[in-house]
Chains A and B, each alone.
Chain A
Amino acid sequence: EDQVTQSPEALRLQEGESSSLNCSYTVSGLRGLFWYRQDPGKGPEFLFTLYSAGEEKEKERLKATLTKKESFLHITAPKPEDSATYLCAVQGLRGYQKVTFGTGTKLQVIP
């Protein structure tokens, strides 16, 4: 069974204090790893898809990286508007439409 574990559960940063969120996964052949951002009371917003180990993608202050066992979401010089819950999900070879989500990391950036 595919599994996704995100850590930490919650993270509090000062504005400008860079850090990383972790997503560890086990999957029967990775087809894609996804990162989403979710604001309270809203639906998740797609950020990145990573397909193979060594791949990296960037968007503004966010950079996602992927190894064979985990993915990191690096946040450089965060701002208060980066406060949200960040979700990681994987899609493996077993079950074409099966996507397994983690429980998320709740990020708070303090001015």
Chain B
Amino acid sequence: DGGITQSPKYLFRKEGQNVTLSCEQNLNHDAMYWYRQDPGQGLRLIYYSQIVNDFQKGDIAEGYSVSREKKESFPLTVTSAQKNPTAFYLCASKNRDTTFDRPLGYTFGSGTRLTVV
């Protein structure tokens, strides 16, 4: 079955450490996204990529970095510059409606819960 695989499911980060969250999709979607989910808040966009070797900052990109070397993969690095990284991180992808040019819904992965220790 096609889908998005995020790993690991749980991740613990020490102070001053960089960590990388993995996101792989086999849906052949061009666009991929990283969201952060905190209790009581709506999902917030960190980075997105519409095509290989290109990505754009979202609303809360500070302290994060991404790469898009392959269509299937969009890893997120949480750097030591991110002061409050404890959150639930969601990777998503979506296709493009080329017939009507209407936005389509996301397919989300199962998430990575990052905790600072």
A residues near B, CB below 8 A? 4, 31-32, 34, 36, 41-49, 51, 87, 89, 91, 97-104
Q: Which of B43, B44, B106 has the most CB of A within 10 A?
A: B43
Which B residues between 55 and 78 are near A, CB-CB below 8 angstroms? 56
Q: How many A-B contacts are there with CB distance less than 8 Å?
A: 63
Which residues of chain A have C-beta atoms less than 8 A from B110's C-beta?
42-43
B108/A45 in contact, CB under 8 A: yes
**Interface range, B side:** 20 to 34
A41/B111 in contact, CB under 8 A: yes
Q: Which of B13-21, B79-87, B97-105 contacts A (4 or more CB under 8 A)?
A: B97-105
A99 to B33, CA, bound (A): 11
Interface of A is mostly: strand
Partner of A46, one of B44, B48, B105: B105
A103 to B43, CA, bound (A): 8
| B2 within 8 A of partner (CB) | no
A101/B43 in contact, CB under 8 A: yes
Residue of B nearest to A99 (CB): B45
A91 to B110, CA, bound (A): 23
B102/A44 in contact, CB under 8 A: no
Residue of A nearest to B35 (CB): A101
Partner of B108, one of A41, A44, A91: A44
Bitwise interface map of B from 12 to 50 toward A, beta carbon under 8 Å scored 1, else 0: 000000000000000000010100000011111100101
| B107 within 8 A of partner (CB) | yes
A41 to B44, CA, bound (A): 17
Q: A32-B103, A42-B110, A48-B105 are in contact. List 8 more A-B contacts (CB 8 A).
A: A43-B90, A43-B109, A43-B110, A49-B104, A87-B43, A91-B103, A101-B42, A101-B44
